[in-house]
């Protein structure tokens, strides 16, 4: 018979259990969180050792059966615990006579009546059985790993205690509202323990660049779509680390840590290509117009990084349109492999380079959300445990659940293996259902600021082709009959001549075609009045037609900033459910793709989901306490908190 108690400064339980019941407890995964706190009291039939110390008597038992018990229970513990805690020993714990349980130690001559001793369960090396410390590189390894190198006190070989000072995990398109609705136990534990900041993002600006630099697009020029000043109405999606490095006062986030002597680990953060030389390792990321699906050259620093990535099955990126997949299952399997291989690669490199600061980004989730947000929204209509929870079309529920499980396991792996002292979990934007399309050039034409132009012959040819497209036929059901011909004439049409204002797909705003920036017809002195006129016209039409959008002045708020000229004069505020597209005169309509996702044919990125304004930003409480009222309430806060952590703010 044995007695059990919890290891919380001697709060005793008077229940007696036999060894078979104890074994059952050890084998029960439902109690694995308390295994490290169970103590065994074994009948003491061997002798005691008297050890006086500092004016009081301390009794320590010489445990003759310790080795026998360790052999007997180590395997039971290994089968009842997760791999990260397998391989245990039973070790003796000293105790004081005055703290022994009542009724077992008498007031006089307690040596004869002492019938119980303490045995503690602790993670141990399978070679020397030295106790492993939490954070040790072998703590999460296998028995084979632990037999090679030990962090215990008895082995000749030691492994440096692996504790990362700061770990930043970025989830491209990560959306807290979505994650909260699925079975993700580790994510839910973070939500309870972390501080969540309410941040709002500008849909025109690149969120990753804000994290990397701590600067907004008014300083860096980092817009998703940048206007070409020598070609009014044309835009570019290209933006690279080279462009970012030209920004005034630019100090990359990893430099904040590196300048204090910290070792750095960077992996796949967008807009970080080409790889930079750092004290540690650096694996560059995509984004900024890089659409490559395979492994690009010069991906990492130092040079041997590429070999390790290949050994771990590293996948640089997965982009619909740049790559093709025969089925949904093939796509989701690729996303799972990409996410898992990236986590394994990051952990391996972090251990090899003994990093202090780490920043790793995952893009798999945004690929799934952009494609199947309509299916996810359908699933979220019912609670996670509801028996009628289902996706819009058959296979998606299982695939979405599996993706969320893999993502949750990935987060747990990074935290368990690297044991960060401080952490940030973030995303560059949220993802919301893409329910409607809008064409701001269509609004400008209706309001008289521009005009669509098309020759008769071109109109007849394009109209015939357009009418045959299934997508347009679906859209046409929402167009009043009297507007069909104008819609056919303007869909995909170019703006005629020199308009007073213009916009583009992917641009959540409107540019005044002024003479100073674009050589346009609007004098610089009239820009402010023209801006106010467009804001008033748009908001009046939005009110009349109940459009969930609002126009506000934008560029004038940053008039003295280095890159203010690249900003739109008018910003259109909205939740993200409406995406700027090319529609023509019928400039606001439903997204015909929002519904069951049944095919990958012709899909190139966003399909039923698009960027939202509410990214994730969660930190541990100690790091969150560094925030002040003057700090920004957008993703620049990631850079600001890191600067404060390393004392360089």
Residue pLDDT, tens place only, 470-496? 554 444 444 443 444 454 444 555 788
At 643, list the tokens: 């600067």
Q: Is 235 helix (H, G, I), strand (E, B) or coil?
A: strand
- The span from the CA of 445 to the CA of 386, in Å, is 49
- The span from the CA of 4 to the CA of 244, in Å, is 61
Burial category of 69 from C-beta neighbours within 10 Å (exposed 0-12, middle 13-18, buried 19 and up): middle
Burial category of 84 from C-beta neighbours within 10 Å (exposed 0-12, middle 13-18, buried 19 and up): middle
Peptide bond into 58 cis (omega under 30): no
Enumerate domains of the chain plus CATH numbers: 2-123 (no CATH), 166-215+250-431+614-645 (3.40.720), 436-590 (no CATH)
Report pLDDT for 24.
52
Contacts of 237 (CB under 8 A, 6+ apart): 224, 225, 226, 289, 506
Report pLDDT for 392.
87
Q: Could you count the other beta carbons within 10 Å of the beta carbon of residue 20?
A: 8
Give the ranges where 498-545 is alpha helix by DSSP (H): 515-518, 527-545
- The span from the CA of 608 to the CA of 370, in Å, is 6
Q: Which residues of the chain have pLDDT under 50?
A: 1-23, 25-162, 288-291, 293, 455-460, 462-468, 472-485, 487-490
- Do residues 600 and 164 make contact, with C-beta atoms less than 8 angstroms apart? no
At 22, list the tokens: 């104890």
Q: Is 117 helix (H, G, I), strand (E, B) or coil?
A: strand
- Do residues 210 and 634 make contact, with C-beta atoms less than 8 angstroms apart? yes
- The span from the CA of 508 to the CA of 579, in Å, is 8
* Pairing label, strands 430-433, 226-227: unpaired
**Virtual CA dihedral for 626, 632, 633, 637, nearest 10 degrees?**
-50
Report pLDDT for 384.
84
Contacts of 24 (CB under 8 A, 6+ apart): none
- The span from the CA of 488 to the CA of 465, in Å, is 10
Which helix (H) or strand (E) segment holds residue 39: the answer is strand 38-43
First to last CA, the chain: 60
Within 124-239, strands assigned E span 166-171, 195-196, 226-227, 235-236
Give the ranges where 356-479 is alpha helix by DSSP (H): 364-379, 396-418, 440-447, 456-467, 470-476
Comparing C-alpha atoms, which of 496, 569, 561 is closest to residue 527? 569
Residues 434-468: tens digit of each pLDDT: 999 999 999 999 999 999 876 444 444 544 444 44
CA 193 to chain CA centroid, Å, is 17
* Pairing label, strands 166-171, 452-453: unpaired
- Token look-up 């007695």 returns 3
* Pairing label, strands 494-495, 609-612: unpaired
Q: Is 525 helix (H, G, I), strand (E, B) or coil?
A: helix
Strand partners, 51: 58
CA dist list (Å): 529 to 208, 446, 519, 522, 523: 34, 19, 18, 10, 11
DSSP state, 197?
A: P
Report pLDDT for 287.
56
- The span from the CA of 25 to the CA of 76, in Å, is 10
- The span from the CA of 580 to the CA of 592, in Å, is 14
- Do residues 615 and 427 make contact, with C-beta atoms less than 8 angstroms apart? yes
Query: Rounded mean pLDDT of the chain?
Result: 76
CA dist list (Å): 571 to 2, 553, 557: 71, 6, 11
Residues 588-621: tens digit of each pLDDT: 999 999 999 999 988 988 999 999 999 999 999 9
- The span from the CA of 459 to the CA of 491, in Å, is 10
At 424, list the tokens: 């940030």
Q: Could you count the other beta carbons within 10 Å of the beta carbon of residue 308?
A: 16
- The span from the CA of 509 to the CA of 502, in Å, is 9
- The span from the CA of 572 to the CA of 578, in Å, is 11
Q: Is the pTM of this model over 0.85?
A: no
- The span from the CA of 167 to the CA of 150, in Å, is 25
CA dist list (Å): 569 to 15, 499, 531, 612: 74, 15, 6, 21
Q: Could you count the other beta carbons within 10 Å of the beta carbon of residue 143?
A: 14
Burial category of 51 from C-beta neighbours within 10 Å (exposed 0-12, middle 13-18, buried 19 and up): exposed
- The span from the CA of 443 to the CA of 448, in Å, is 9
Q: Is 145 helix (H, G, I), strand (E, B) or coil?
A: helix
Q: Which backbone phi and psi does 353 adopt, to 5 degrees?
A: -95, 0
Handedness of CA 630, 636, 638, 644 (dihedral sign): negative
Report pLDDT for 321.
77
**What single string gives the DSSP state of each residue in 252-313?**
-HHHHHHTTT--EEEEEETT-PSPPP-SEEEEE--BTTB---SPPTT-EESTTHHHHHHHTT
Report pLDDT for 294.
55
- The span from the CA of 13 to the CA of 63, in Å, is 23
3-state helix, strand, coil in the chain (%, to 5): 35, 20, 45
């Amino acid at each position: 018979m044995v007695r059990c108690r919890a290891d919380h400064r001697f709060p005793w339980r008077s229940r007696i259990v036999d060894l078979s019941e104890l074994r059952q407890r050890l084998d029960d995964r439902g109690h694995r969180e308390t295994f490290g706190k169970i103590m065994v009291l074994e009948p003491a039939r061997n002798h005691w050792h008297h050890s006086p110390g500092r004016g009081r008597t301390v009794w320590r038992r010489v445990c003759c059966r310790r080795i026998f018990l360790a052999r007997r229970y180590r395997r039971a513990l290994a089968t009842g615990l997760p791999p990260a805690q397998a391989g245990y020993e039973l070790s003796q714990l000293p105790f004081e006579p005055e703290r022994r349980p009542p009724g077992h130690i008498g007031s006089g001559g307690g040596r004869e009546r002492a019938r119980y001793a303490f045995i503690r369960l602790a993670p141990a090396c399978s070679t020397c059985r030295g106790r492993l410390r939490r954070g040790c590189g072998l703590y999460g390894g296998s028995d084979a790993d632990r037999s090679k190198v030990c962090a215990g006190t008895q082995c000749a070989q030691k492994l440096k205690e692996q504790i990362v000072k700061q770990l930043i995990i970025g989830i491209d398109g990560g959306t807290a509202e979505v994650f909260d609705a699925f079975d993700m136990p580790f994510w839910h534990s973070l939500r309870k323990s972390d501080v969540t900041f309410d941040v709002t993002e500008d849909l025109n600006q690149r969120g990753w660049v804000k994290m990397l630099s701590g600067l907004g697009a008014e300083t860096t020029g980092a817009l998703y779509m940048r206007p070409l000043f020598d070609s009014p109405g044309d835009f570019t999606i290209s933006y690279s680390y080279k462009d970012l490095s030209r920004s005034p006062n630019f100090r990359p986030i990893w430099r904040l840590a590196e300048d204090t002597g910290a070792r750095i680990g960077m992996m796949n953060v967008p807009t970080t290509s080409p790889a930079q030389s750092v004290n540690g390792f650096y694996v560059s990321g995509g984004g900024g117009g890089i659409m490559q699906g395979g492994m690009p050259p010069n991906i990492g620093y130092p040079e041997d990084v590429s070999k390790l990535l290949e050994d771990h099955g590293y996948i640089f990126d997965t982009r619909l349109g740049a790559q093709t997949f025969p089925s949904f299952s093939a796509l989701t399997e690729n996303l799972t492999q990409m996410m898992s291989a990236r986590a394994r690669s990051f952990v391996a490199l972090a251990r090899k380079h003994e990093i202090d600061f780490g920043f790793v980004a995952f893009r798999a989730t945004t690929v799934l959300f952009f494609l199947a947000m309509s299916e996810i929204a359908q699933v979220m209509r019912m609670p996670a445990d509801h028996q009628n929870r289902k996706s819009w079309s058959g296979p998606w529920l299982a695939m979405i659940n599996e993706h969320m499980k893999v993502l949750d396991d990935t987060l747990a792996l990074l935290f368990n293996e690297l044991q960060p002292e401080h952490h940030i979990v973030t995303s560059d934007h949220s993802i919301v259902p893409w329910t409607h399309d809008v064409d701001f050039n269509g609004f400008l034409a209706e309001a008289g600021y521009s005009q669509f132009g098309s020759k008769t012959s071109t109109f007849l040819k394009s109209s015939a082709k357009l009418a045959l497209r299934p997508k347009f036929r679906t859209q046409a059901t929402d167009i009043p009959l009297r507007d069909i011909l104008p819609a056919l004439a303007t869909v995909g049409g170019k703006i005629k001549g020199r308009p007073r204002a213009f916009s583009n797909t992917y641009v959540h705003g409107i540019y005044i075609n002024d003479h100073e920036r674009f050589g346009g017809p609007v004098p610089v002195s009239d820009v402010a009045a023209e801006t106010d006129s467009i804001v008033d016209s748009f908001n009046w039409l939005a009110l009349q037609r109940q459009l969930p959008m609002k126009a506000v002045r934008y560029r004038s708020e940053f008039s003295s900033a280095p890159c203010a000229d690249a900003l739109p004069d008018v910003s259109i505020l909205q939740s993200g459910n409406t995406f700027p597209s090319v529609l023509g005169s019928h400039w606001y309509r439903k997204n015909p793709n929002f519904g069951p996702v049944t095919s990958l044919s012709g899909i190139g990125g966003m399909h039923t989901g698009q960027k939202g304004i509410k990214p994730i930003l969660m930190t541990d409480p100690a790091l969150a306490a560094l925030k002040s009222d003057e700090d920004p309430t957008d993703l620049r806060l990631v850079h600001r908190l890191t600067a404060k952590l390393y004392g360089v703010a």
